[in-house]
Amino acid sequence: MKINFTMKKRSKFIIRLMILIGVLCHTSNICMAQNSKLTTITLRVKNEAIENVFKEIEKNGKYNFFYDPLVINKVNPVTFDVKNASLQEILKIIEKQTGLSFQQRDNTISVTKKKESDIPATKTQNIIQIKGNIKDKKGEPIIGASIRVKNSDIGTISDIDGNFTLSKVPENSIIIASYVGYNSEELPIKNKKNFQIILSENTEELDEVVVVAYGTAKKSSFTGSAEVIKHDRIEKRIVADVSKAIEGTVAGVQSTSGSGQPGSGASMIIRGFGSISAANTPLYVVDGVPFDGTLNSINTNDIESITVLKDASAGALYGSRGANGVVMITTKRGGLENDKISVNLKANWGIASRAIPKYETVNEAEYMELAFEAYKNELIYTEGLDPAQAGIQAIEVMGGIAKGVLGYREEYNPFDMPLAQLIDPYTGKVNPNAKLKYHEDWKDELSNKNPLRQEYQLSVAGGSSKTNYMVSMGYLDEVGLLKTTEFERYSGRVNVDTQAKDWLKMGMNASFSQTTSNYNSASGSEVSNLWYTSQIMAPIYPVYEHNADGSLKLDANGNKIFDYGVNRIALSNSNAIALLYDDKEKSTKDNLSARTYVELVANDDKYGFLKGFSFTANLGLDYFNTHEMSYQNPYTGNAATISGSLTKAAQRQLSYTFNQLLTYKRDFGLHGFDILVGHEFYQLKQEYLAAQKTGFPFGGLYELAAAANLAAASSQTDKYAIESYLSRANYNYAQRYYVSASFRTDGSSRFYKTSRWGKFWSLGASWRISEEPFMAGVDWINNLTFKASFGSQGNDNIGSYYAYQSLYNMGLTNAIYNGAAINSLENRDLRWEKNENLNIGIEARLFNCFSLTAEFFNKHTKDLLLNMPKATSTGFNAYPANVGSMRNRGVDITASINIFNNRNFRWTLTAMGSHIRNKILKLADKPEIISGSNIFREGEAVNSFYLPISAGVDPLTGNQLYWVNHDENNNLVERYKTDDVTLTANSREVVGNRIPDLYGSITNDLAFKGFDLSILTTYSIGGEMLDGIYSSMMNVGYKGYVWHKNALRRWQKPGDITDVPKIMWDQQIRTTDQNLIDASYFAIKNITLGYTLPKKWTDKMKMQKIRFYASGDNLALFSHLKGMDPQYNFTGTVGYTYTPSRTISFGIDINF
């Protein structure tokens, strides 16, 4: 496909230039890092306020200045020009021009005004020593606080317990206590020798900085909806894929449990369904650039924070890809800690087990009784036999070859007596004297016992005043619950940033990982799908062959022999567990992700009118190369009839994003401006090649050359591109009133040229009420902010790169002649799906211990993308179209309280809750679209269940009854009961959906001395599930399949009152509202207990920190049906798939 974007040609030269600059930057960073100990400062100022000079020195040298604003505001501006000067040289220059005095301890510099006249001679004033302790309002000691004598160079810093001592202090002087993030206190001595000082927090200085679209912002000033997950919370989850670590940490985010396949992730939606058939998944952004790799290639230990953008004001700048929310991942950066290089080593070992318990199914005796009853009822109600005669004949049929479940000569009778003696033909009960000859559970046989998970991580971070770096290496090996499945990852990352000049900053991030996965891709009712065969197999069928006495048969080498069920009525001539060893599936993926940037900054008066401007060019690329192999042996299983099969596939994908951003950011008195304009180009290219051959001479050959027949060969190339122009303007007045606006226009290759460009925008405002003068005396309100935003976002992810085009299938060959047929219809009018998003919220911090965030949202999706059904007679079942609109409306609430917060014990409780309601507002010219047991109807929620209504079980006949309102001629009549299944087709009703009434999480974080404990639980209240696995075990349609335990309460004789119909083979029972199960659940997602060794111990070992910890992930799930996974998906159904796993692990975290 041809993409006519003007940027494409120009970008090739610029990209090459950016790569060259990145390489040069990386080279220069290495050189600069070698001089990390030589901290020098280059600074030129002219008539500059001394406070601004201090900020420039702090920025260049990582120093902290402490001073009284009233003192330095009276100091004259300074002028000097130094190059590569030391800190002491600069301080002497300032001292001469201002008369200020400086005292330095480590990186802390106390600033005072020194005047001889202010310090009386010691001859006339007594000199004393004072002591004291400094704490915050919570009673916690403040470490490293500055305590100094006003207008002197006498000062000190508080120790680890908050204690301090000052000597040679004039008895009538004043001391000043200060610390970053706290309001300073001035205290007259007045002959007092002991001080207990309490500092109050400065909420503005402590304000959290969040990563947002194309930059950062203070959370208190941010007009949109964003939540930050910090690295300590992420690292508590023992997962290979970061998507599984987000659950329960952000209000409004729903997650699935995810597959138990090692290395797999979870699906996520933010604030409900954003679309019907287009993608609902959020956009992932890594270090400022949209990410196209696989999330399991990212080492979670490399992540510094995750920011989730939930509304239009937060995500509109991502335009076409931000409609379903944005997940921004920021990796760790370098930097010196206490002028030292930081070295961190982590190791973790764990074992896995099932997180979801097994369904409760019948045992061997119960199965035999139910099977007999099914045969007997079939003879009575289908063939009209007398009940007494039917029981005797049922024994014969049950033990026969044609319809029996016991195989040839009752080889699958697990009891030590023949069938004729085993079951009483009149009562249907198993002889109590019968004993089992063998017992084998297929679900247990397919599982590894305590599979091992091990992970190791080494990282080094450091730098100088100019250059910072972070290097990490990691290894993960995760053995799966299912035998032969495994995930292995090698990873490495290098992040480097350098301030090459005061006007030039450059950086480069690069990560590489190789992942190898052994897996089982079989799905649905395929024989090789272990999760299907092990679940439905009746308990009488063994995994291995047995002798007549029940003992195991062994081969010549003493190994157990798999039973392939030659005479088994269910899944004959197969053994899925054997296929685990005979078949093989493997995937190896090389992942490279790189980001590089150049930033030109003019933050000095010397740049004149350019001061405040900055220009940044970012280039990011994601590349992966995948090799996959799928082998099926020539002896048994799906490929036995074609003498085996081997498929090999290779995929190469490269995507890059190149943007150029011009920013103007300046304050003029009480007015603050932050303006951004930019351009961005994104392109993706995928190449795929695969071939399949069959006909192997023998098993164990994994190369195509060994096979005789070429069964298939194919290749494919896909391209996709977006060009964008974007802008944003933020304004604030007095750090109290904030207004923001953004606009972006995107052109997507997924649409025809006349519909290609979409326009997206947002407006937002916030008001910090707590900063108003009338709130000055309200000490118990630390922060109170009201905010509102509205905007539009787009979605072009409709499942095809070429949805608007008419495509042909070229694979319809006839001998040596080519053949083709049209397989999709053209729709040039196909256009963007758009979300209009309203968000109104309030944020509060009360009593310095309670935080609350409450937000109302209304997300209106227009021009819904959907495959519209079409009459089959046209040759097509559906075509893509914009069909209507949908609304998601709800509330997100997050509340956190510090229950205890003192030196020895801290306890923080955080609760999150979300309520959402979904409604389809319009579906073009069709009021409803029915899909199986679901319906899309105007006025109803997406994926609503559309089922007949159960009228219970007829006590007389044991038949399932239904409420219907149509007769045999499909005429609408008054509602009545019937057991005629055929009449239910036109008498279905909307009976619920999966969307919960309330969902969220509860987190407890506790710390006692060196111990820390974190407990994360999640919950969901309301919603319905349609568990097809459970339903199939309640109404067994095939002989040899298992029943659920609840089938034991079935109807057996006239007069029985029950909700389970009589047992019969192959009876038609329609799925009804009675099959819906309450989807509510409560889950203990993670418990982590850690212990950090005392500092006095680690100091002796020349280490900074040592922490031991134990963690349990996916520990317990409480739901309405044992075995059901209520988090399987967002639509309320389940499938025969890899069960989620529980992990118990132990680890150590060492900082050198």
Q: How many CB atoms lie within 10 A of CB 158?
A: 23
Tokens 């970061």 belong to 242
Q: What is the mean pLDDT of residues 505-533?
A: 92
How many helices and strands (H and E) does the chain possess? 14, 55
Torsion of CA 386, 392, 398, 399, to 10 degrees: -150
Q: What is the mean pLDDT of residues 34-38?
A: 36
As to burial, measured by CB atoms within 10 angstroms (0-12 exposed, 13-18 middle, 19+ buried), residue 769 is middle
The more confident residue out of 844 and 185 is 844
- Positions of E strands within 734-864: 737-748, 757-768, 781-795, 808-809, 821-822, 833-846, 850-862
Q: Given a cut of 60, is residue 469 above it in pLDDT?
A: yes
pLDDT attached to residue 117: 41
477 within 8 A of 453, measured Cβ to Cβ: yes
State the DSSP string of 172-210.
T-EEEEE-TTB--EEEE-TT--EEEEEEPB-TTTTPPEE
Residue-wise pLDDT tens digits, 66-99: 776 666 777 778 888 777 788 888 888 888 778 7
pLDDT attached to residue 337: 58
Residue-wise pLDDT tens digits, 152-181: 767 787 876 788 888 888 888 888 887 755
Report the alpha-carbon distance of residue 772 to residue 770 in Å, rounded.
6
| Half-sphere exposure (Cβ direction) of 490: Cα atoms closer than 13 Å | 5
State the DSSP string of 342-410.
EEEEEEEEEEEEESSPPP-B--HHHHHHHHHHHHHHHHHHTT---HHHHHHHHHHHHHSSSS-SS-GGG
As to burial, measured by CB atoms within 10 angstroms (0-12 exposed, 13-18 middle, 19+ buried), residue 49 is middle
pLDDT attached to residue 1119: 96
Task: Tokens for 231, please give them.
Answer: 């690295």
pLDDT attached to residue 1127: 95
Residue-wise pLDDT tens digits, 239-250: 999 999 999 999
pLDDT attached to residue 114: 64
Q: Given a cut of 80, is residue 794 above it in pLDDT?
A: yes
Report the alpha-carbon distance of residue 551 to residue 258 in Å, rounded.
40
Shortest CA distance to 722 belongs to which of 290, 94, 86? 290
Q: What is the mean pLDDT of residues 44-65?
A: 78
Predicted confidence band of residue 136 (pLDDT cuts 50, 70, 90)? confident
Residue-wise pLDDT tens digits, 683-696: 999 999 999 999 99
Report the alpha-carbon distance of residue 991 to residue 947 in Å, rounded.
7
- Positions of E strands within 377-451: none
Q: What is the mean pLDDT of residues 1111-1124?
A: 96
Predicted confidence band of residue 116 (pLDDT cuts 50, 70, 90)? very low
β-bridge mates for residue 516, sequence order:
488, 588
Report the alpha-carbon distance of residue 410 to residue 391 in Å, rounded.
18
Q: Given a cut of 70, is residue 1074 above it in pLDDT?
A: yes
pTM above 0.85, yes or no: no
Predicted confidence band of residue 39 (pLDDT cuts 50, 70, 90)? low
Q: Given a cut of 70, is residue 8 above it in pLDDT?
A: no
Give the range among 185-194, 278-287, 841-850 with minimum mean pLDDT.
185-194
The more confident residue out of 158 and 1108 is 1108
Q: Given a cut of 70, is residue 389 above it in pLDDT?
A: yes
pLDDT attached to residue 208: 65
Residue-wise pLDDT tens digits, 494-507: 999 999 998 999 99
Q: What is the mean pLDDT of residues 851-855?
A: 96
Residue-wise pLDDT tens digits, 195-242: 989 887 655 444 566 777 787 777 777 888 889 999 889 988 889 999
pLDDT attached to residue 33: 35
Torsion of CA 745, 750, 755, 760, to 10 degrees: -20
Phi-psi region of 168 (alpha: psi -120 to 50; beta: other; left: phi over 0): left
The more confident residue out of 568 and 150 is 568
Report the alpha-carbon distance of residue 215 to residue 599 in Å, rounded.
13
SS3 915: strand
Residues 6+ apart with CB under 8 A from 369: 423, 428, 429, 430
As to burial, measured by CB atoms within 10 angstroms (0-12 exposed, 13-18 middle, 19+ buried), residue 689 is middle
Shortest CA distance to 353 belongs to which of 477, 214, 260, 469? 260
Q: What is the mean pLDDT of residues 127-135?
A: 88
Q: How many CB atoms lie within 10 A of CB 1074?
A: 19
Q: Given a cut of 60, is residue 32 above it in pLDDT?
A: no
Report the alpha-carbon distance of residue 1115 to residue 355 in Å, rounded.
7
Helix-strand-coil percent breakdown of the chain, rounded to 5? 15, 45, 40
Predicted confidence band of residue 915 (pLDDT cuts 50, 70, 90)? very high
Mean pLDDT, the chain, rounded, equals 88
Q: What is the mean pLDDT of residues 843-856?
A: 93
Q: b/e string for 332-358 if b means 16 or more Cβ within 10 A?
A: bbbbbeeeebbebebebebbbbebbee
Q: Given a cut of 70, is residue 667 above it in pLDDT?
A: yes
Q: What's the gap between Cα 854 and its chain centre?
A: 22
Residue-wise pLDDT tens digits, 609-632: 899 999 999 999 999 999 999 999
SS3 9: helix
As a whole-number percent, the residues of the chain with pLDDT over 70 amount to 92
Residue-wise pLDDT tens digits, 880-909: 888 889 999 999 999 999 999 887 899 999
Q: How many CB atoms lie within 10 A of CB 585?
A: 19
Report the alpha-carbon distance of residue 497 to residue 599 in Å, rounded.
11
State the DSSP string of 528-543.
T-HHHHHHHB-TTS-S
Shortest CA distance to 295 belongs to which of 722, 589, 525, 699? 589
pLDDT attached to residue 68: 65
Q: How many CB atoms lie within 10 A of CB 664?
A: 16
pLDDT attached to residue 122: 40
Residue-wise pLDDT tens digits, 14-29: 444 343 334 333 433 3
Predicted confidence band of residue 61 (pLDDT cuts 50, 70, 90)? low
Report the alpha-carbon distance of residue 165 to residue 157 in Å, rounded.
9
Q: Mind listing the domains of the chain with CATH numbers? A: 39-106 (3.55.50), 115-202 (2.60.40.1120), 209-351 (2.170.130.10), 364-441 (no CATH)
Q: Given a cut of 80, is residue 194 above it in pLDDT?
A: yes
β-bridge mates for residue 729, sequence order:
675, 741
